[in-house]
Structure 1
Amino acid sequence: MVDQKAAWLYPRWIAHRGAGKLAPENTLAAFRLGASHGYRMFECDAKLSADGVVFLLHDDTLNRTTNGQGIGGDQSWSALSQLDAGSWHSRGFAGEPMATLEGVARFCQANACWLNIEIKPTPGLEAQTGKAVAAAAQRLWHGQPGWPPLLTSFQPEALQSAMTTAPELPRGLLLDTLWTGWLDVARSLECVALVCNHALWDAALMAKARDAGLRALAYTVNDERAARRLLDLGLDGIITDRVDLFAPGS
């Protein structure tokens, strides 16, 4: 197995939820649009349906990004698959279906792309979702060339479950604030990366991450001044909505 702490082959620029705000988030249409802008790594949000299918959805509820209502994880995939996940964004994407992790995996593998899967559990299903996402990723990327997906989460319980299920898959701890004990948690979860709100990154935090052997990633970076500051700090990954603004080779 590759030592992911010693080497880091993921692209620096990562398209948020497929193509940021240019397409309906977490759909295959967004991935296709992000790829058309030259992006080779994508971030997405993974949840568990009521019947055990790993599917893509950021919010707990379906209300904002589909024509459905209620908690997404309470519904079966057969019901979720019938929803329109595109009309809320724009008429050109009307009828776009929700995506499964399996469908996204096929897209990434066919196009030699990398993936950052954020484990986004329905509240109360942290352990079950971490296990399901890790098991699905382990199965879907088994024997595939290149690097496996990076599993990240704000929920340590989900990452712990993912580690138990598929310890060989790289993990990253997501932070919106530097809560007490975060470094000890990242170490206990054997994380290879720290993924922070971009405003948290400074020289002191970078030094702490490097001392711990952690790669440094930031979300969600949408203006050039913020991007330049992070690049000057030496960040390893920048998650952005602005796939139209930032050239992924920069």
Structure 2
Amino acid sequence: MIGRIDGVRRNERMKILIAVTNTPTYGEKDAATGLWLGEAAEFVDEVSKRGFEMDYVSSKGGFAPLDPRSMKKAYADHATIAWYRMPDFEERALACTLRPEEVDADRYDALYYTGGHGVMWDFPSSEGLARIGLAIYGQGGYLASVCHGIAGLLYLQKDGEYLVAGKNITGFTTMEEYLSGHSGDIPFWNERVAKAHGAVFRKKRPFASFAIQDGRIVTGQNPESPRAVARLLLENIG
């Protein structure tokens, strides 16, 4: 990337690309899911304080549905609702996300994969999101994820090898899937796929905030972890 020194662009406005889901239900079942709001809003709240601009992309572009549970008072803090109320966030992050072909990877210091169960259907199969992720990483940028957003990392391959192979990473755990009440609805298990693809999967107790870095990959375990991911990422690019 032109102007990048030690993995960070200089003399340009700092930007982070945020990936969100287009998937509104658990596969073909009549059960709503989508983006977990706090996993976008809490991350954005942290990085915006450091002067970063954000763009939002999804596998198809356009509308990003919200998991209705993420709007409950128990999960959505004041900052999350404050961002939800902002017209710019509502339009760019939820209503009119970019299509992958509209994204110039050279403009971003990092790609952050948000969670919510919906991403398990569209992140792994999106060639466009994979292209962007590999491009940002290949030019010295960072890849970050939280919770189910790890699905965006697990299937990335470089030179025939999984990018997560040998890396210390974390994401929504098998136990957390059981506790979420939707273990029978998911297409795969993040923790199991991570291990099958050669990653070293780290975790804390269920629903405790936890983020970990290995090189230029930063991951968070669950919905309690987006701020921890943001702060760890900012130590490197902020």
User: What is the TM-score with the length of structure 1 in the denominator?
Assistant: 0.39
User: What is the TM-score with the length of structure 2 in the denominator?
Assistant: 0.40
**Greater C-alpha radius of gyration:** 1
